[in-house]
Structure formats: C-alpha cells, structure tokens
Amino acid sequence: MRIALGLEYDGAGFLGWQSQPCGNTVQDVLEAALARIAGGPLRVVCAGRTDAGVHALAQVVHFDAALERPITAWVRGTNTFLPAALVVRWAAPVANDFHARFAARARAYRYVLLNRPERPGVLAGKVGWCHRPLDVAAMQAAAACLVGEHDFSAFRASGCQAKSPVKTLYRFDIAREGDLILFDCCANAFLHHMVRNLVGALVYVGMGRRSPQWLGDLLATGDRRLGAPTYAPDGLYLAGVDYGDAWGLPRQGRIMAHLPLPIC
C-alpha cells in the first residue's frame, strides 16, 4: 500500500534531503526509521528536495509498504527512531497513483532574514542575516516583476537538473516584523537555489546597491553571472505543498492558511 507522510525538520544538522553515502541526510535517516516499522528497507519520494541547512515546516513524502501497519505506527512508531530535529507530523493512505512530487500543484517557501547590526544568537542556524538596514518598500517594488510565468535562468544554480527554467510564480510577498524580514513565495515549482538567489538579489536592492528596476532587467537577461551571491540556507523553509482536495491529505500537507493560492 502507498502511504503519504507530512514531515517537519530542522535542516541544520543534515546534509540536505537526498541520500548520500555518509547517511547523514533527511532521506537516509527517515528511511532507516521507517524500515524499523516496515520490517524491511524501502525508499521514499519527497515533494521537494532541500539543500543542506534548509528547513521544512511541511515536507510531504510517499512510499510503498509491503506490510500493512496501523496509521499510528507510521507516525508515533517512526518518530521513536528519529532524531529530535526530524518528526513525522501525519500519515495517510493514498491511491497508488499519488506521487509526492508530480502530484503537487504548487510549493511555498519562506525565507526569514534577521536585519540588525548584531548577528543572530538564539536564532543562529534558523535565519539569514544582513547587518545593513534594508528598504523593504524598494524590495517589494522589485519583487513585483517576478510574479507570473518567466524564465528564471538568472536565478538558477549551475548544477540545476530541472528540464525547463520556466516557472510560474503565483506570489512573492515581503514584510517586516520587527528585526525580521519575511520573504514568502509560492510557485508551481522552483529551480535549484532559486529562492536563495532571489533573496540575494533583493537584498542588493534593499541595501541600495541596485535599483528596483534592476531585478526585472536581471530576470530578462537569463544570466546567473550578473546576479547577487546565493544567500545562506539558514533562513529558508519549505512552508507547504499544495495537492488540492482530490487526494484527501491532511491540512498540514497543503499550503498554509497565510499563503493562499489563486488556484485553491
């Protein structure tokens, strides 16, 4: 039977999502724990692979189990064998044609940036940091050009394996809450490092190193070499994955309420 899981994890101690020979990835640790419940090895497929240091509030995965187990076993049982930084939030049986990656209609990411002169202390590893004052209004004006369907090659990592650089960005909101600046974006899919590269470019605008119009010009060039450095992974969170209502997944498996989609 096919099972979907909702995950939450602190990515600081993992070498990203995808399995590696060292075994210190979210996928490796999760599969080892699930094997204890399933009675044998299995493979999981995720909605979106996260890099080393990137966190998830609502990652979704699926796997095929040869033996039937109570749903509670996939949650409480699996959590017994997981480290504190990784937890299964929910489990649900799904149809055999459900696919955590290909069935997703959209994904949402949040980047949390600490904007103050002093580096983070309690929030170290959980936020990005910029010590210079940032103009949020200028960044908001710059981000407006990103919404819609575009070729995002100018914000694509050199090792990106996506078949096409054309993605549809449904929204990109920027707001300040005290010393924190929140970047919330939602798209049908994202390129490798796309969000972190966008944040890096927007920080350039916020510092006054570039004008808001520059971001649109950069987007049009399709040239990653002309952009800003990739921002740190610490502040990036996979905030939700949208599958619509057809699959009957728990609410935690869909876009969070504060990130509504036009298609929902």
Q: Are 61 and 47 in contact (CB under 8 A)?
A: yes
CA nearest 193: which of 18, 50, 15, 11? 50
**51 is a catalytic site residue:** yes
Phi-psi region of 260 (alpha: psi -120 to 50; beta: other; left: phi over 0): beta
Residues 6+ away with beta carbon under 8 Å from 245: none
CA 238, 225, 124, 206 dihedral sign is negative
Contact of 77 with 258, CB cutoff 8 Å: no
DSSP-assigned beta bridge partners for residue 166: 151
User: What one-letter code names the amino acid at 233?
Assistant: P
Cβ neighbours for 14, distance < 8 A, ≥ 6 positions apart: 24, 25, 26, 29, 52, 85, 86
Catalytic residue among 51, 184, 234, 242: 51
> What spatial distance separates the first Cα and last Cα of the chain, rounded to whole Å?
28
Q: Nearest 5°: phi and psi at 205?
A: -65, -45
Catalytic positions, written as ranges: 51
